[in-house]
Amino acid sequence: MAAGGGAARRCWRSGAGLAGAVRGICGSGRATAAVRAEELAERLRKSEEQQREIPKDPTQRWLRELAAMSQQLQQVHPNVLAKILKQRTLYQNEEIVVIDKPYGLPVHGGPGIKNCIADVLPILAKMLENMKAEPLHLCHRLDKETTGVMVLARSKEAAEKIRLLFKTRQVEKIYWAIVLGDPDPVEGVVEIPIVEKEVQSHQSHYKMTLAPNYRLCPEDGKVMRIRGNRHAERAVTRYRRLAAASACSLLELQPITGVKHQIRVHLAYGLGCPILGDHKYSHWSKLAPQKLPEHTLRRLKLEQSKARHLPLHLHAHRLCLPLGQPLDFVCKLPLFFQKTLRKLELDIPKD
């Protein structure tokens, strides 16, 4: 109402009125301006109520709850976030703390990020031990949208030791992902270097992509070695299919190397099976929501126009850490991941 009233007052002071859509407000006097302003305020109020209204459709409700959870993690006080992480602690000893990382929480800070795991490590350490506890230390990272097992160290020395284990590939990491399509073959190894490149489009952006050392000879179709990109990093990912249904597959993945976005790139561009909800790597030349098969949309009871709300279905399921004796940590799937498996009729293996 204040915005509409302010416009009317400016019209009266100017004596000439405003052009276009608001010309009628000035011409019909202060009373009409007040009515228009009240109508505008009422429309805004109804719009806000509709946005707050809980959708009747279960799928829409599920997607909205997940989006709200991610937003809430960015809005809570750091002490509250540290308490959430404390509640999600899977294991701790004198060297390490293992947590179940929630969806939508970044590990590191950056533009537009208010809360991240790195910022609350000093608070979390005090909650777990005592007020004089040293801050916890990051040993590795997971993407903002990735859930599951994450290891923190209680000291710099322990952090350096664990980082070395990751660097020398002594840590066994197992991920689960729901992907579009069916990989061919259903089990194997993707070994293709990865490099970061700028995508030239109407909205330029950067993505990780494949930088293969081989290509097909146009003359005879034979595989021939080519000169590698000097900026590319070696990347190796083992995979095997655990289940297939509804034009999707549940895959178990073991990244041997640790390149940024390695699993997502190898699945999308190496196997042609992008992760469900991976809108970044479902296209190369554009930023757009993932295009889902009709059968998948039907099983999810989802319209294509709402596919942009689907979360990334990538979960750090298991991690084996050789600290003296091997420590094996398994983290159950988040609720949204379990719901998707049921909707798609993808059976979780019993073993």
Per residue in 168-183, pLDDT (tens digit) is 999 999 999 999 999 9
Summarize the confidence of residues 108-127 as an average pLDDT: 92
Global pTM? Answer: 0.80
More confident residue, 300 or 349: 300
Instruction: From residue 263, give the alpha-carbon distance in Å to each of 172, 228, 229, 316.
Output: 15, 20, 20, 11
Going by CATH, does the domain composed of 57-168 fall within 3.40.50.150? Answer: no
Instruction: Show me where the domains of the chain are located.
Output: 57-168, 171-345
Going by CATH, does the domain composed of 171-345 fall within 3.30.2350.10? Answer: yes
> Which of 100, 143, 278, 347 does the annotation list as catalytic?
143
Which of 90-94, 200-204, 283-287 comes out lowest in average pLDDT? Answer: 200-204
Is there a shared CATH topology between the 57-168 domain and the 171-345 domain?
no
At 12, is the pLDDT very low, low, confident or very high (cuts 50, 70, 90)? very low
Q: Is 143 a catalytic residue?
A: yes
Q: Is the pLDDT of residue 49 over 50?
A: yes
Which of 182-186, 305-309, 318-322, 333-337 comes out lowest in average pLDDT? Answer: 305-309
More confident residue, 271 or 47: 271
